[in-house]
Amino acid sequence: MPSTQSDKRIRYDGISDWYDLNSGADEEAAESLRGLLGREAGRCLDLGCGTGQYFALLAECGGRVVGLDVSMDQLQIARR
């Protein structure tokens, strides 16, 4: 049975603080992003941004960052 949007919210909401403490921007992925974006990224849409792990990196690359995620709990952390 395919998952629904509400299934995804249940999966992430309620554990967002734990997720934020136990995950981080992967350095290999960060280096790849730096190489792809360069220093003047412009506007960046981070789809499935979670708690905003890559916001600082995207901003460092010159991007104006907008995050989008289905989890309201994770978006609240990302806003901080």
How far is residue 51's CA from residue 32's CA, in Å, rounded to a whole number? 20
Q: What is the pLDDT of residues 25-56, one digit of tens each?
A: 678 888 888 888 888 878 889 998 988 988 88
Q: Which residue range is the domain that position 20 belongs to?
A: 5-79
Q: What is the pLDDT of residues 48-78, one digit of tens each?
A: 898 898 888 888 888 789 999 988 888 988 9
Q: How far is CA 30 from CA 1, 15, 56, 58, 79, in A?
A: 34, 24, 10, 9, 20
How far is residue 71's CA from residue 49's CA, in Å, rounded to a whole number? 9
Please give the model's pTM, rounded to 2 decimal places.
0.68
Residue 28 belongs to a domain with what CATH number? 3.40.50.150
**Structure tokens given for 34:** 């730096």
Task: Tally the domains of the chain.
Answer: 1
